[in-house]
Amino acid sequence: MSRGQKRRKPEEANRVDRAFRFVDDRLGISHFTRKALNKIFPDHWSFMIGEIAMYCLVILIVTGIYLTFFFVPATKEVVYQGRYAPLRGVEMSQAYASTLDISFNVRAGLVMRQMHHWAALVFIAAIVVHLCRVFFTGAFRRPRELNWMVGLTLLVLAIGNGFFGYSLLDDLLSGTGVRVAYSIALAVPVAGTWLAFLFFGGEFPNTEFITRFYILHVLIVPALIVGLLSAHLAIVWRQKHTQFKGPGRTEGNIVGSRLWPQYAAKSAALFLLVAAVLALLGGLAQINPVWLYGPYKATQAAAATSGSQPDWYMGWVDGALRIMPAWEIRAFGHTVANPFFPGAVMPGVTFGVLYLWPFLERRFTGDREPHNLLDRPRDAPFRTALGAATLAFYGILLLAGGNDILAGIFRIAPEVITNTFRVLIFAVPLAVFVVTRGVCRGLARDDLHPTRPPPGGLVVRTATGGFETVDGPDDGRPSEPVVDAWKPPPVDSG
């Protein structure tokens, strides 16, 4: 190395240092960065579930961008002449034809398509599990009611965008789902025709709905999701994180790991794990093989009425439609069609109650204090039992969405299966509520953990054949926790 090169390196370093100082003097980046990197996050594994959803969103965006280069959101009829021989010479929309080309002609197209689909399923599942964790531990209580509502809105947008996405392909299965959604929209009293025109472009099938769904799927709804997710994270950052009760943990501190380097390392490893699992699923686990279904034709739609199920996050609505009795109401000169009750009223009531739950619980319990320490589910038996019963209710609806499949497996008449679910939809949640509340009360009374040994140590056998008592296993808390002390916001007594 020459002397000139050795002389230039310190000079280049000085220039870089001066540039950083120039920016820092004007924006104060170093102070914010230092404070941010020292931020404390709890160590409990359940706090990582929300991050799984965030990383699935990253994979969705990356794979979605790739797919937009090749997908054609048009309903113009073309004659397929691609690689998939069974469909050659068949008339289909450009949207369906481009989906086949992505699956068979585009390099890595099928892997990207399947990664995108799997990521959507895991994304919504992670949001649901994350919301369950928040609900059962009481993390929605003051001052986090607003963030609870933001999270619920993210779930609604994610479900809607998932439906818009798999409806774009214009295959027989997705077309059947769009037809059902159109019927639900049309069944809404007074506003039904307007809703059908807004989202579907008029009477279905038509040439407008794919273009409208495409704009919603790739532009409007993703922008709303990213915006709300950013607001969600900003609120968490501002209000500090919740944590479970334990030694050294109070309403005014946070015990856990610093953002850098411990928490950042865990978070980066989780992202790589999520990406690897989704890539593995995209490459090895077939999902939504649209080439087997064929293009959607209104004259052939009856072929998909049996054995067709939507993705799991829409399955509970499908199940409600299947087991709902054939009831209709006529009032004020209008007929309220049957799909309105299971397809619009039930989801509306579901999310309406969820949005209002923090305020309902505060009203009935009288607890208006701010909470930064989480409840154990056993400490709120009624809330835990109600949540478990609600999950059982929608689990039964999800199973009811496959009543025709179950009828074929067990060789039972579909009517018998449907009537059975009409009984189970009330019996199972009631039983789950009673059992869960009893279990929670028992655990709270004995103050025992269901998966940990009782206090007093463990009895182990020694090498000489005797027995001795040793201390129980570590409960997972760090021996020297990092504590971030802070003052909670003032409490408004009114």
Give yes or no for a contact between 340 and 189, defined as CB atoms under 8 angstroms apart.
yes
- 202 is written with which tokens? 């008029």
> Radius of gyration (Cα) for the chain, nearest Å?
28
pTM of the model: 0.86
Tell me the pLDDT tens digit for each residue of 218-234: 999 999 999 999 999 99
For residues 122 and 52, the answer to whether their CB atoms sit within 8 Å is: yes
pLDDT digits 0-9 by tens, 86-95? 999 999 999 9
Q: Note the residue count of the chain.
A: 494
Confidence band of 308 (pLDDT split at 50, 70, 90): confident
What single DSSP character describes residue 486? Answer: -
- For residues 378-384, give the mean pLDDT: 95
Mean of the pLDDT values across residues 414-425? 95
Beta carbons of 120 and 160 less than 8 angstroms apart? no
Measured between alpha carbons, how far is 319 from 73 in angstroms, rounded to an integer?
A: 30
> What is the reported pLDDT for 327?
87
| Mean pLDDT for all residues in the chain | 87
Residue 454 pLDDT level (bands cut at 50, 70, 90): low
d(CA 184, CA 213): 17
- What is the percent of the chain with per-residue pLDDT over 70, rounded to a whole number? 88
Q: What pLDDT shows up at residue 489?
A: 39
Q: Domain spans of the chain?
A: 42-370, 376-449
pLDDT, residue 234, reads 93
> Which range, 27-41, 325-339, 470-484, is most confident?
325-339
What is the DSSP secondary-structure string of 129-181? HHHHHHHHHTTTSTT-HHHHHHHHHHHHHHHHHHHHHHHTT-BHHHHHHHHHH
Q: How far, in Å, CA of 184 to CA of 192, rounded?
A: 8
Read off the pLDDT of residues 195-216 as tens digits, 9 standing for 90 and up.
999 999 888 888 889 999 999 9
Domain 42-370 in CATH 1.20.810.10? The answer is yes
Task: State mean pLDDT over 69-86.
Answer: 94
